[in-house]
Amino acid sequence: MSYEHPNSQGRSIREVEREIMARPAEHNTTNLNLDRMRAILDLMGNPERSFRVVHITGTNGKGSTARMTEAIARAYGLRTGLYTSPHLERINERIAIDGRELSDDDFVDVYEQIKDLVAIVDAKSAQEGGPAMSFFEVLTAMAVWAFADAPVDVAVVEVGMGGMWDATNALDADAAIIGPVDMDHMQWLGDTVEQIATEKAGIIKPGSTVIVGPQPHEDEVMPIIEAAARERQASEILRDGRELEVVARQPAVGGQVATLRTPNGTYEDLPIDKFGDHQAHNALSALAAAEVVAPVNGALNSDLVAEALSQVKVPGRIEQARSSPTIIIDGGHNLNAAQSLRAAIEENYSFEQVVGVVAMMRDKQVEEYLGVLEPLLSQIVVTENSWRERVMPAEELEVIAKRVFGPDRVLRRDALPDAIQTAVNLVDEQDELGVGYGHGVLICGSFVTAGDARALLKEHMSPDLRKPKAERA
């Protein structure tokens, strides 16, 4: 179905998306409360109480962990809802039921069903001098409505940003996953790792099982999370490296095989369809959360877990989008993401040459991010993505890149399609055998960049890129 195609009521999903995304951003001082979310949930009749919730925060790994958790729960016969952000190509990606994103018609219909309630909340907020519901609050309300209407048994919900004041925190988690906490979104969450950890620990609720991933700043972060778990009377805390463990892992074709341990048992040789040590730890958190919501006591069936994990696809996360030449897309945009990306590529690929195509947002730690990738990249092509309001102009990125890589290794192409084509040409020039082995293109720096690249490679790429390498001039 076309993204512009109208539903039975005459409205296209593009029209509805524009209406939603025109709403206020969620990250400003007047939006730092849950009043509007709680108000619309009350108007709906609090449908979020009808299903169990796995709530996931952290600087990185939320989307991967969410998809793995959902897959394991679904393999166990539970009907699942999945709410993630941001979307890469289509707004429908954010809301899925039983592993299938909402269709265009269903997405529009859900919005039509709640928009009058949104208007009521907007009016009440305005009377009190507050803002209208943000676009993320509206999308979160739509997800809750869709999940209750399905109905689902468990909803796996990814925090948009932070945790304490995020719209998703109006839901009470049965399992609260806190992935690695690092420096990102400092203008909203705080400029120290302790402040950021406090925000993320805000998803811990009374009676919840707290699952904590590996922490790059363990000494600073763990005391904050542990104190929050005690103060809010969480039922238990499971920490990666203590109660939880990645016992062993080894690379395999298309991903890796890992042995994972939880307090309920050891799961041997689980196939994980993603690269990188960090994905094994994401799988461990997902497994622990699935144990909380699955209708069994003790360990889950290893065969069901293996089947679920082997089929999880995570778009835009170290995603190989093309071969000959190899093109990898990654949406990570901070230091922890860059470190995981570099480690995964070094572990799983034998590249002699990697050309980077990079477009980043201006509010990121750009120089530090590029510094992590510098030893990996032979050359870098700086460019821009489609989010004109936030993207760093290519000429500014070029200046920073030249400081990191030196001027001889940096090229600039203001349009992303031209940048990708330039990178492909660069690796083709060095690929004497014409088979693509040992030569790759890495497109990275932002989820917007990743989404743009996926759409370009799938739909609009230069005809030369569609041809087998031997056919190119």
pLDDT value at position 27? 66
Task: Classify residue 305: in a domain, yes or no.
Answer: yes
CATH number of the domain residue 374 falls in: 3.90.190.20
- Print burial letters for 333-370: b (CB count within 10 Å at least 16), e (below 16): bbbbbbbbbbbbbeebbebebbbbbbbbbeebbbeebb
- 334 in the same domain as 207: no
Is residue 5 in some structural domain? no
In a domain, 3, yes or no: no
Strand partners, 258: 249, 270
Residue 241 class from Cβ within 10 Å (0-12 exposed, 13-18 middle, 19+ buried)?
A: middle
Helix (H/G/I), strand (E/B), else coil: 369: helix
The tokens of 120 are what? 């009521």
CA dihedral sign, ordered 410, 415, 419, 422: negative
55 in a structural domain: yes
Question: Can you give the residue range of the structural domain that contains 398?
Answer: 319-471
Give a yes or no: residue 314 inside a domain.
no
pLDDT in tens, the chain (473 residues): 333 444 545 789 999 999 999 998 876 545 678 999 999 999 999 999 999 999 999 988 899 999 999 999 999 999 999 999 989 889 999 999 999 999 999 999 999 999 999 999 999 999 999 999 999 999 999 999 999 999 999 999 999 988 999 999 999 999 999 999 987 655 556 578 899 999 999 999 999 999 999 999 999 999 999 999 999 999 999 999 999 999 999 999 889 999 999 999 999 999 999 999 999 999 999 999 999 999 888 899 999 999 999 999 888 999 998 887 899 999 998 888 999 999 999 999 999 999 999 999 998 889 999 999 999 999 999 999 998 888 999 999 999 999 999 999 999 999 999 999 999 999 988 876 655 578 999 999 999 999 999 999 985 444 544 444 333 33
Q: What is the pLDDT of residue 30?
A: 55
211 and 324 both lie in a single domain: no
Instruction: Determine, yes or no, domain membership for 8.
Output: no
- CATH code at position 251: 3.40.1190.10
Can you list the alpha helix ranges (DSSP code H) found in 157-309?
186-189, 193-200, 218-231, 277-293, 302-309
pLDDT at 336: 87
Q: Which residues pair with 212 in a beta bridge?
A: 178, 239
Shared domain for 260 and 190, answered yes or no, is yes
Nearest-angstrom CA–CA distance, 40 and 122:
10
Does this model's pTM top 0.95? My answer is no
- The structural domain count of the chain equals 2
The H or E element containing residue 464 is: helix 463-466
Task: Note the pLDDT of residue 436.
Answer: 56
pLDDT value at residue 153 = 98
Taking the CB of residue 18, how many other CB atoms lie within 10 A of it?
A: 11
pLDDT at 374: 97
